[in-house]
Chains A and B, each alone.
Chain A
């Protein structure tokens, strides 16, 4: 029979049954009355003859029901009624679950969005990042994560490879847009031919930049991002064909990319063609990120093999300039090390995210254990009821099912509330997560997250429900019913499962606490590292760049920057102002190349590569970087092209033993170059972040003779970071004062990326502080839950053993002894948990090695402190209920049943 009409016709059927039965009884009563029985008596007799009326009605109705489902519904109704009757229990459990499941769902959403989902490009599994290994080019931090591509490599690889459908390179840049309202610095991404084809996302409007637009002698074109199109042009469709003043050059807009399109996780305002010129390309200039789309069926290792044979072709096809040896790069041992694009985008955050996921997962487990404990206590108080039901014939399955229905219902309700928590938690994670968290814009609470929350709700319900269900479904009716509570305390067996849960809880809490303290100690170690500058909160930074088309002559550019620097220094409240190619930890490496010390012989004939920075006079003073020997630059060093140079302390020690000995020594870049005389040695600076090693740095003046051209040419800084030391750092007012100072010199120069060194400094520790925050939250939650668990177990034991306590007191037991009895049992459980926890922590923290700095994963202080904290907490948590036991009044206690 079709179940739907059956369900809806049911009320009518039930009425039919009742009417039929009622008529039956009345008719029988009529008969008996006719035989001479009084009416009332006749009706009673008729009912007796009929049997158990309501039972037969029930059985008749059951013909129209699905018995399994209906009794499940009844269980559910019963559960809800029981929960309403104990709101304290219900709220505790639901809140715990909502937070636990919510936190897990939020973190899972991040992991799903960042790590699991494919990149938002068609068939993104075939996209690879073109990174190269160059183990022979030691000396630079950059090379630890690979060597990027040069222009000539792009030409060689894209012309000769057999593995890729398409291949392109890109680099991030900033550009000045003028002519629309105020001058503005925008994020541009410079792209080569083949890049858009590789990503393969069609434009929202107009067309892609085409090979024609890449012709270095062709006309200048540009594409807009969706955001920039909306912001600057209000989404006007007639924008195609119009022109834009970019770095003082007019460019025609040919297309708009769709909303959400990013170049390998980088937002941008404009896409600008690189317009590579094959005729001037040289071997060097490894500054371009390469990506490619594999042909179907081609593996990454095949592509690696394909491109590795092209390295020789590349050295045969290009030069670094007349007279240079193109095969010099054999020393570098360049080999392709391509990996999936997703791996490059996601990068080092993978470890952090899994640690966070494991952490919240562990908290969830502890929370479930707590709930299981509460349910055990609850089931315990129902022991008599369950025993009666078992005696009346309820099967094991029936009782287990009811207990499980209760826990799964709790799990699902908790899961429902958890969605709210997850939504809020995700907002929190997105707002406070590491600023460099990749793919952040792709993180949402989607179907995957909902499914995760549902599955987690059901499984946690099953998990914490199965413990009491297993225990109480096998209850032996006779034992439970006949055992008088008046005569005995509970048996050991009754406490065993609760005790095991507490031990597990303590162990898990300890693992979290140890991990949290390790992160705290890591953070402290990072903070105590001297970054090589001082008072970051009082140092404001801004970026300014002078386009070549605005001011062509380098000497004029230097004068312009000098003038700006003086104007900013004259702003009220500013102590000093200076500029450099890059500020420390800003993520910019202005240049790097080899640098030879006079009289030194290098293994392999070539000196190692060094990081180059370019600084104006007063930059070290403004940053608070100590000059450990010699002096800072003067403007005369720059304008006079004096061949004076400043080096970092570690470079000086490496070559001459001490900073003082380095002053007056000579170094040079290439053998044709004049010697540079060291005039100063600057304190080591953690240029790549506090947790990275300090690079050896060569500081050039703001203007110098270019080593890269045939004829002597003057080169110098154009794109700079200004550092401004002031008590007003970090205020809007100071930024607008700086802006006015800049505009008073040249009104076409935008001031970009305002911030303080403090912000840059914290950003470099963002990963650590994020992990730290998450672990600290999780650790405190675990500690709290663990304390609640211990408190609950001891407090329940006290309430169950009130009689025993009364007897002991009546027989003359000391109160302090009684207290100690309970505290001791708690301490025994804690000690067992601590031992297991310490062993697990030692194993688990090995996987955190890459997140730690300056301490070992087996840091003794951490492994001593945290067990101590837990033991103290456990002592307090057990002392409170134990004190209650000691205050029991024996007369009252003996009356208790």
Chain B
């Protein structure tokens, strides 16, 4: 099924962390979210636009996000996504394990360089 192909270009869970972190900063609609990630990463991270939506739906189903009707900057009807309490708890858990993993990778890389 399509569930695991969302993060094809990144490591598993990366897209989820970025979405949660971005939305914690401010509730946004889909297009704004894509733009936000692009801008903040200085266009280093190119997430595939389409793959965002299945991921958003999965996180809605898991209760990490919720959504409400709203308007885009241009005044078109869209859905605004917001992080729930359980989403914040999940983000923090992921961040700490992500930090550990990142730490580990950095050390291994530093070791082989020396």
Interface residues of A (CB under 8 A from B): 1, 6, 13, 16-17, 19-21, 23-24, 26-28, 30, 49-53, 56-57, 59-64, 67
Shortest A30–chain B CB gap in Å is 6
In the bound complex, residues from chain B placing their C-beta under 8 Å from that of A23 are: 29-31, 72, 76-78
Q: Are B50 and A20 in touch, CB under 8 angstroms? A: no
In the bound complex, residues from chain A placing their C-beta under 8 Å from that of B72 are: 23, 27
Q: Are A20 and B29 in touch, CB under 8 angstroms? A: yes
Q: Are A27 and B76 in touch, CB under 8 angstroms? A: yes
Q: List 28 A-B contacts (CB under 8 A).
A: A1-B61, A17-B53, A19-B77, A19-B78, A19-B79, A20-B29, A20-B30, A20-B79, A23-B29, A23-B77, A26-B76, A27-B74, A27-B76, A28-B49, A49-B49, A51-B48, A51-B49, A51-B50, A56-B50, A56-B51, A60-B56, A61-B57, A62-B54, A63-B54, A63-B57, A63-B60, A63-B61, A64-B57
Q: Are B31 and A50 in touch, CB under 8 angstroms? A: no
**A483 and B48 alpha carbons, distance in the complex (Å):** 42
Asked whether any CB of chain A lies closer than 8 Å to the CB of B1, the reply is: yes
In the bound complex, residues from chain B placing their C-beta under 8 Å from that of A26 are: 74, 76
Question: Given known contacts A20-B78, A23-B72, what 18 new A-B pairs fall within 8 Å (CB)?
Answer: A1-B61, A17-B53, A20-B30, A21-B53, A23-B31, A24-B30, A24-B34, A26-B74, A27-B76, A28-B31, A30-B74, A49-B49, A56-B50, A56-B54, A61-B57, A62-B1, A62-B54, A64-B57
Shortest A6–chain B CB gap in Å is 8
Asked whether any CB of chain A lies closer than 8 Å to the CB of B58, the reply is: yes
Asked whether any CB of chain A lies closer than 8 Å to the CB of B7, the reply is: no
Q: With A17-B53, A30-B74, A51-B49 in contact, do A64 and B61 touch (Cβ < 8 Å)?
A: yes
**A61 and B78 alpha carbons, distance in the complex (Å):** 17
Shortest B27–chain A CB gap in Å is 13
Q: Are A59 and B77 in touch, CB under 8 angstroms? A: no
In the bound complex, residues from chain A placing their C-beta under 8 Å from that of B57 are: 13, 17, 60-61, 63-64
Asked whether any CB of chain A lies closer than 8 Å to the CB of B104, the reply is: no
Q: Which of B58-77 contact A (CB under 8 A)?
A: 58, 60-61, 63, 67, 72-74, 76-77
Shortest B86–chain A CB gap in Å is 12
Asked whether any CB of chain A lies closer than 8 Å to the CB of B2, the reply is: yes
Shortest B21–chain A CB gap in Å is 20
**A806 and B51 alpha carbons, distance in the complex (Å):** 57
In the bound complex, residues from chain A placing their C-beta under 8 Å from that of B60 are: 13, 63
In the bound complex, residues from chain B placing their C-beta under 8 Å from that of A60 are: 53-54, 56-57
Shortest A509–chain B CB gap in Å is 48
In the bound complex, residues from chain A placing their C-beta under 8 Å from that of B61 are: 1, 6, 63-64
**A23 and B77 alpha carbons, distance in the complex (Å):** 7
Among A1, A21, A53, max chain B CB count under 10 A is at A21
Q: Are B67 and A16 in touch, CB under 8 angstroms? A: yes
In the bound complex, residues from chain A placing their C-beta under 8 Å from that of B77 are: 19, 23
Shortest B1–chain A CB gap in Å is 6
Give the secondary structure class of A's interface.
Answer: helix
**A655 and B16 alpha carbons, distance in the complex (Å):** 109
In the bound complex, residues from chain B placing their C-beta under 8 Å from that of A17 are: 53, 57
Shortest B51–chain A CB gap in Å is 7
**A28 and B34 alpha carbons, distance in the complex (Å):** 11
Q: Are A27 and B63 in touch, CB under 8 angstroms? A: no
Interface size on B, residues (CB 8 A): 27
Residue-wise, chain B 21-55 has the 8 Å CB interface mask toward A (1 for contact) of 00000000111001000000000000011110110
Shortest B91–chain A CB gap in Å is 19
Among B30, B53, B72, max chain A CB count under 10 A is at B53
**A123 and B60 alpha carbons, distance in the complex (Å):** 60
Closest residue of B by beta carbon distance from A64 = B61
Q: Are A16 and B49 in touch, CB under 8 angstroms? A: no
Q: Are B53 and A56 in touch, CB under 8 angstroms? A: yes
Q: Are A67 and B1 in touch, CB under 8 angstroms? A: yes
In the bound complex, residues from chain B placing their C-beta under 8 Å from that of A61 are: 57
Shortest B104–chain A CB gap in Å is 31
Shortest B73–chain A CB gap in Å is 8
Shortest B89–chain A CB gap in Å is 17
In the bound complex, residues from chain B placing their C-beta under 8 Å from that of A27 are: 31, 72-74, 76
**A297 and B78 alpha carbons, distance in the complex (Å):** 78
In the bound complex, residues from chain A placing their C-beta under 8 Å from that of B58 are: 63
9 closest Cβ contacts across the A-B interface? Answer: A51-B50, A23-B78, A63-B57, A59-B2, A56-B50, A59-B54, A27-B31, A24-B31, A60-B57
Other-chain residue from A13, A21, A63, A64 in contact with B30 (beta carbon distance below 8 A): A21
**A343 and B30 alpha carbons, distance in the complex (Å):** 77
Shortest A14–chain B CB gap in Å is 10
Shortest A5–chain B CB gap in Å is 11
In the bound complex, residues from chain A placing their C-beta under 8 Å from that of B79 are: 16, 19-20
**A79 and B31 alpha carbons, distance in the complex (Å):** 41
In the bound complex, residues from chain A placing their C-beta under 8 Å from that of B51 are: 51, 56
**A16 and B54 alpha carbons, distance in the complex (Å):** 12
Shortest A410–chain B CB gap in Å is 29
Closest residue of B by beta carbon distance from A46 = B49
Closest residue of A by beta carbon distance from B73 = A27
Closest residue of B by beta carbon distance from A67 = B1
Q: With A19-B79, A20-B30, A28-B31 in contact, do A62 and B49 touch (Cβ < 8 Å)?
A: no
Q: Are B50 and A50 in touch, CB under 8 angstroms? A: yes
Among A50, A53, A63, A67, max chain B CB count under 10 A is at A63
In the bound complex, residues from chain A placing their C-beta under 8 Å from that of B49 are: 24, 28, 49-51
In the bound complex, residues from chain A placing their C-beta under 8 Å from that of B56 are: 20, 60
Shortest A32–chain B CB gap in Å is 13
In the bound complex, residues from chain B placing their C-beta under 8 Å from that of A1 are: 61, 63
In the bound complex, residues from chain A placing their C-beta under 8 Å from that of B2 are: 59, 62
In the bound complex, residues from chain B placing their C-beta under 8 Å from that of A28 are: 31, 49
Closest residue of B by beta carbon distance from A21 = B53
In the bound complex, residues from chain A placing their C-beta under 8 Å from that of B76 are: 23, 26-27
Shortest A12–chain B CB gap in Å is 10
In the bound complex, residues from chain A placing their C-beta under 8 Å from that of B30 are: 20-21, 23-24
Among B30, B54, B77, max chain A CB count under 10 A is at B54
Shortest B39–chain A CB gap in Å is 13
Shortest B61–chain A CB gap in Å is 5
Residue-wise, chain B 1-12 has the 8 Å CB interface mask toward A (1 for contact) of 111000000000
In the bound complex, residues from chain A placing their C-beta under 8 Å from that of B74 are: 26-27, 30
Residue-wise, chain B 94-106 has the 8 Å CB interface mask toward A (1 for contact) of 0000000000000
Closest residue of A by beta carbon distance from B59 = A63
In the bound complex, residues from chain B placing their C-beta under 8 Å from that of A52 are: 50
**A67 and B2 alpha carbons, distance in the complex (Å):** 11
Among A19, A27, A52, A67, max chain B CB count under 10 A is at A27
Shortest A808–chain B CB gap in Å is 53
**A64 and B72 alpha carbons, distance in the complex (Å):** 25
**A49 and B63 alpha carbons, distance in the complex (Å):** 29
Shortest A482–chain B CB gap in Å is 32
Closest residue of A by beta carbon distance from B80 = A20
**A28 and B79 alpha carbons, distance in the complex (Å):** 16
Closest residue of B by beta carbon distance from A63 = B57
Shortest B81–chain A CB gap in Å is 9
In the bound complex, residues from chain B placing their C-beta under 8 Å from that of A62 are: 1-3, 54
**A23 and B74 alpha carbons, distance in the complex (Å):** 10
Shortest B40–chain A CB gap in Å is 18
In the bound complex, residues from chain B placing their C-beta under 8 Å from that of A51 are: 48-51
**A19 and B56 alpha carbons, distance in the complex (Å):** 14
**A56 and B63 alpha carbons, distance in the complex (Å):** 21
Closest residue of B by beta carbon distance from A53 = B50
**A780 and B51 alpha carbons, distance in the complex (Å):** 64
**A268 and B23 alpha carbons, distance in the complex (Å):** 86
Shortest B30–chain A CB gap in Å is 5
**A132 and B107 alpha carbons, distance in the complex (Å):** 97
Closest residue of A by beta carbon distance from B34 = A24
Shortest B16–chain A CB gap in Å is 13
**A28 and B72 alpha carbons, distance in the complex (Å):** 12
**A1 and B60 alpha carbons, distance in the complex (Å):** 11
In the bound complex, residues from chain A placing their C-beta under 8 Å from that of B78 are: 19-20, 23-24
Among B30, B50, B79, max chain A CB count under 10 A is at B50
